[in-house]
A and B are shown apart, each in its own frame.
Chain A
Amino acid sequence: MSTRRASSRQAASASRVNEQQITDLLARLQQILPEIHSRCRRPSDKVSASRVLQETCSYIRSLQREVGDLSDRLSCLLTTNDVESDEAAVIRSLLMRD
């Protein structure tokens, strides 16, 4: 009897620690999401976990779309010559844009 209570207490405290981990991670995630970050006047403003996850999904989708669009643009702009002939200069220019 007592061992069952003890093990369920253990499981409960373990899931509490897990909850805290998740809350912390979601807070960090909130910092890097542009939509939420620009709207919150203070970083400590609470946004629901559901909202953070929703924004995360939209943000990932928009970034993936951007990669696809950029690949499209680059396929029209890049030819074999561009990349091969002056690769060092290309790399230098890309690195300088910071």
Chain B
Amino acid sequence: MQKKEFIRKWMKNLRLCTNLKRNMPTLERKSAIKLSADVAIASTRTSSTSWSQAVISNAIKNMDKILVQSISGQKMHSNMKLCRKILQKSRRVTTRKKVVKRSKSIESRIHVLKGLVPGGNEIMDETSLIREAMDYIASLRVQVEVMTSMASLFE
């Protein structure tokens, strides 16, 4: 199901991207392709995960806002509401931080993981972080699988 949804959304995004600029230089095309794919896979999981919301809000910050609005299929102000929600959630959780004894190596690995999962630094408890990481990995695998098929289609 996620695979179908991703393919549909990615194709729509690609169409929108290539519509905007006819003669794109290769590097721009690479960014457009990657952005379309990242936003598409994230939008298949926005209702249940925070990594996906972080991907979309980062895309909003970094790229042309109009482009992202049309390709994420969400209105601008609803994306902004999502950003605010994420920030609010993280603020609420920090006030109840539990002190759990962990070995230094586990602490440092968790720190690295937070940096790799989008929005990971806003996640305060380990259980949520691990859940987000699992969902993120599953989604990345779908993304890679489809992009690989696409590449073999055109080679």
Contacts and interface: CB of A to CB of B under 8 A. Distances in A.
29 contacts: A11-B98, A15-B100, A18-B127, A22-B130, A28-B134, A29-B133, A50-B105, A53-B109, A53-B112, A56-B133, A57-B109, A57-B113, A59-B137, A60-B140, A63-B144, A64-B140, A67-B34, A67-B37, A70-B148, A71-B30, A73-B151, A74-B147, A75-B26, A75-B30, A77-B154, A80-B22, A83-B15, A84-B18, A90-B150
Interface string A1-26: 00000000001001100110110011
- Secondary structure at the B interface, as helix, strand, loop or mixed, is helix
Contacts, number: 126
Interface of A: 11, 14-15, 18-19, 21-22, 25-26, 28-29, 32, 49-50, 53-54, 56-57, 59-61, 63-64, 66-68, 70-78, 80, 82-84, 87, 90-91, 93-95, 97
Interface of B: 3-4, 7-8, 11, 14-15, 18, 22, 26-27, 29-31, 33-34, 37-38, 98, 100, 103, 105-106, 109-110, 112-113, 116-117, 126-127, 130-131, 133-134, 136-138, 140-141, 143-144, 146-151, 153-155
